[in-house]
Amino acid sequence: MDLPSRHFGPRPLDPIPVEDGYVAGYQRIRVRMLSPTIGGELEGIDLRKPLDPDLYAEVRRALLQCKVVFFRDQPVSPEEQVAFARHFGELEVHPFLPEGESPEVIRFAKDETTKGVENNWHSDVSWREVPSLGSILHAVEVPRVGGDTLWADMAAAWKGLPDEVKRRIEGLEAVHDFTHTFGLAMSPEELAKKQEEFPPATHPVVRRHPETGEQILYVNTIFTSHIVGMEREESDRLLTFLYAQAHIPEYQVRFGWKNDSLAFWDNRSTQHYASSDYWPQERVMDRVTIIGERPAA
């Protein structure tokens, strides 16, 4: 199949209806959209307190509707961040990233000696047989300027593909593997042990969201290795085209961090990119990740 030689812009988006900047239908919180299809800032909630059933339902609805939700002025402790995350499911313990104050908390600490390396579009732990539902990131210390994070709406990316590309990729599967990222720093012996513990996972190139029913483009530059049953050259060419869809600004939202800001994103329907433009300033973030379900077409 001949792929388009250039991108002519996305098809018309399906914006979330808003009135005076806010999404209608919420009683306990206010949801202010930051872009037409992705990214809502939630107001009127204190994440240090447990969620009652009605408040939980509204936060979950906002997550599914906006795909990533943001909270300002949330001075949560790691324990409170974990408690908030547990409302949405079981939490994972990451086998490769640095542990924070508890096994479920990952601490990303950058300064003049450690540069950020998360500046690639990806979905967290897609290399797992059962990837994550979502991740929750709390800003402990942010730089004076820089260090924003971007998210891309991969349901919009799917909708915007040319029809001939959609027909080509529906039903295909791709292999996701940690080896060419986390494995680079391992000795051959350690790598072999971890590969046995976490073998490559095969997921649909286009997955269906288990709650919204949306079709989602589910390949990413960090963890996707190749498309099953396709010659490597053809696989690489097709994946390069699919990866590029996350780069389209119309599918994105960009968030400027402040201390005690918090982001909660759906890893099933988004990819994200942490801008590494702040070195040598300090940037310290705590992340917890919620286990999801096996992707299905």
Q: Which residue of the set 94, 122, 128, 207 is catalytic?
A: 122
Tokens representing 138 are 């709390």
Number of neighbours of residue 268 by Cβ within 10 angstroms: 27
Tokens representing 59 are 């936060």
| Helix/strand/coil for 292 | coil
Amino acid at 186: M
Pairwise CA distance, residues 9 & 32, whole Å? 26
DSSP 39: -
Q: Which residue of the set 138, 203, 272, 283 is catalytic?
A: 272
Residues 259/78, Cβ–Cβ less than 8 Å: no
Is there a catalytic annotation at residue 124?
yes
Amino acid at 248: I
- CB within 8 Å of 227: residues ≥ 6 apart: 172, 173, 174, 175, 205, 235, 238, 239
Tokens representing 113 are 């000696």
Is there a catalytic annotation at residue 287?
yes
Is there a catalytic annotation at residue 153?
no
The two beta strands, 252-255 and 262-266, are unpaired
Pairwise CA distance, residues 206 & 212, whole Å? 14
Pairwise CA distance, residues 174 & 217, whole Å? 11
| Residues taking part in catalysis | 122, 124, 272, 287
